Amino acid sequence: MSKPATNDQSFKLTDKVFNEFQKVTLTHTGIHLDDTKRAMITSRFSRRLRELGMGGFEEYLSCIRDTTHPEYAEFVDTITTNLTYFFREPHHFDKLREDILPGLQGISSTADPIRIWSAGCSSGQEPYSIAITALQESCAGHRKVKILCTDIDSKVIRQTEQGIYRSTELRGLTDHDKNLWFSKQADGGVRANESLRELIFCRYLNLFDPWPIKSHLDVIFCRNVLIYFDIGRQEKLIRGMAKLQKSKSILIIGHSETIANCSDVYRRTSNTMYERI
């Protein structure tokens, strides 16, 4: 009997059922739930099981096997790691401001927008850092900038769309940028101004589902996302991204990531930055 005796106790998560959780999560999201996540699952989902009036983890598991079940989204939102902050890995934004965007604005033969994808954007600090950079004087030009923001976590994608941040979520944002680009909220937080939000286009997307992207992408930020996937899945994603980029377009990954086995489609230009061949 796996039901806890009191409201404060956890349900029992057996090895067998935890293995099933690992399999379901890997199949649906590409994320490997390692053993360090077991305690988190036990405590957080014991509470959830009580809320749902369920008898144990087996019953919960049968719901999340179905990706259309409402509980599936709740489960994914809980297991994802969303750590992010404004201007994380600042050298990427220096390069964007000094080199990449002025170069793209310099192409006078096209009125096409500059298209940027923040793949695994979390709560939006990454795309808003891109938007702030794009609106700086040195990056201004005749081409509009469109930033597609996608994530598998429905809560963070909603937050990105709203552009609302609590005071504890402003790490990396200077007072200057905060005053210039955000409006104060009554609770001490801030909301991104319309001038930033109009560059942002949000969409829920599991990277392992088909991508609803028709146009080519000038710059892809896929930072601190690949790290959750095995090498085979990483390669599949990188090759998919290469198909969406023309020669000389840019791919930017996170500091602890590599794009193993893809040197035929991307050439490294500097630390964690690549150019489509």
Q: 219, 117 in Cβ contact below 8 A? A: yes
Query: What is the C-alpha to C-alpha distance for residues 194 and 200, in angstroms, rounded to an integer?
Result: 10
Span from 138-146, 179-187, 219-227, 259-267 in contact with ligand SAM (CB under 6 A): 219-227
Phi, psi for residue 123 in degrees, rounded to 5 = -80, 5
99 catalytic residue (yes or no): no
Q: From the candidates 44, 48, 158, 233, which is the catalytic residue?
A: 44
Q: Which of 22, 133, 160, 224: binder of ligand SAM (CB under 6 A)?
A: 224
Query: What is the C-alpha to C-alpha distance for residues 55 and 74, in angstroms, rounded to an integer?
Result: 18
Query: What is the C-alpha to C-alpha distance for residues 183 and 88, in angstroms, rounded to an integer?
Result: 22
Least separation in angstroms between residue 142's CB and ligand SAM is 29
Q: Which of 105, 193, 206, 258: binder of ligand SAM (CB under 6 A)?
A: 206
Query: What is the C-alpha to C-alpha distance for residues 211 and 61, in angstroms, rounded to an integer?
Result: 27
Positions 5 through 44 that interact with ligand SAM (CB under 6 A): 29-31
Query: What is the C-alpha to C-alpha distance for residues 143 and 140, in angstroms, rounded to an integer?
Result: 8
Q: Could you say whether residue 254 binds ligand SAM (CB under 6 A)?
A: yes
Residues in the chain: 277
Positions 171 through 190 that interact with ligand SAM (CB under 6 A): none
Both tokens assigned to 118: 């923040």
Q: Could you say whether residue 139 binds ligand SAM (CB under 6 A)?
A: no
> Which lies closer to ligand SAM via its Cβ, residue 2 or residue 67?
67
Query: What is the C-alpha to C-alpha distance for residues 185 and 187, in angstroms, rounded to an integer?
Result: 6
Q: How many CB atoms lie within 10 A of CB 166?
A: 12
> Which lies closer to ligand SAM via its Cβ, residue 96 or residue 152?
152
Query: What is the C-alpha to C-alpha distance for residues 70 and 88, in angstroms, rounded to an integer?
Result: 33
> Which lies closer to ligand SAM via its Cβ, residue 53 or residue 210?
210
Q: Which of 21, 37, 45, 153: binder of ligand SAM (CB under 6 A)?
A: 153
Q: From the candidates 115, 143, 151, 197, which is the catalytic residue?
A: 151
Both tokens assigned to 59: 């019953």
Half-sphere exposure of 258 (CA within 13 A, CB side): 7
44 catalytic residue (yes or no): yes
Least separation in angstroms between residue 46's CB and ligand SAM is 23
Applying CB under 6 A, what is the total number of residues that bind ligand SAM? 26
Positions 66 through 125 that interact with ligand SAM (CB under 6 A): 80-84, 88, 120-122
Catalytic residues: 44, 151
Which residues contact ligand SAM (rule: CB under 6 A)? 29-31, 80-84, 88, 120-122, 126, 151-153, 156, 205-208, 223-225, 228, 254
